[in-house]
Amino acid sequence: MPEEKAVAPKRAAKKAVAVTDTSKPGKAAAPAPAKAAKAVAPKAVAKPAAARKKAPAASKLIDKPSAPSAEERQRWIATAAYHRAEKRGFAAGYEVQDWFEAEQEINALVGKA
């Protein structure tokens, strides 16, 4: 036969009940004081991101990131030109100027002169 685990019975919370004092008719005894609740430890709170342990820094740092590919550079320029045109309200006639200014901006960021 498998062993049965002993399960502790759940204790029902006792409620304070007024008891009538039989020694003096017409008077009721004070209700029994309720038991103080046990102190409960607070639940664990997640630490903020700043308090967490940081991963060790890479042992080898790159002095200068590698240059973007030609396709990636063109995409960056096109995106920058689009944002310039958007700020202007897409007014016609400034497309080439937007492209050249965007190209100069990306070249300055990447480091090509």
pLDDT single digits (tens) 40-90: 666 666 666 656 666 656 566 666 667 888 899 999 999 999 999 999 999
Per-residue pLDDT, averaged over 23-31, amounts to 58
How many independent structural domains does the chain possess?
A: 1
Pick 24 or 69 by higher pLDDT: 69
Q: What is the pLDDT of residue 96?
A: 95
Give this prediction's pTM: 0.42
Cα 76 to Cα 112: distance, rounded to the nearest angstrom: 14
Does residue 2 lie within any of the structural domains?
no
**CA 101 from centre of chain:** 39
Does residue 24 lie within any of the structural domains?
no
Q: Which residues contact 15 (CB under 8 A, 6 or more apart)?
A: 34
Does residue 20 lie within any of the structural domains?
no
Does residue 101 lie within any of the structural domains?
yes
Residue 88 is part of which domain span? 66-113
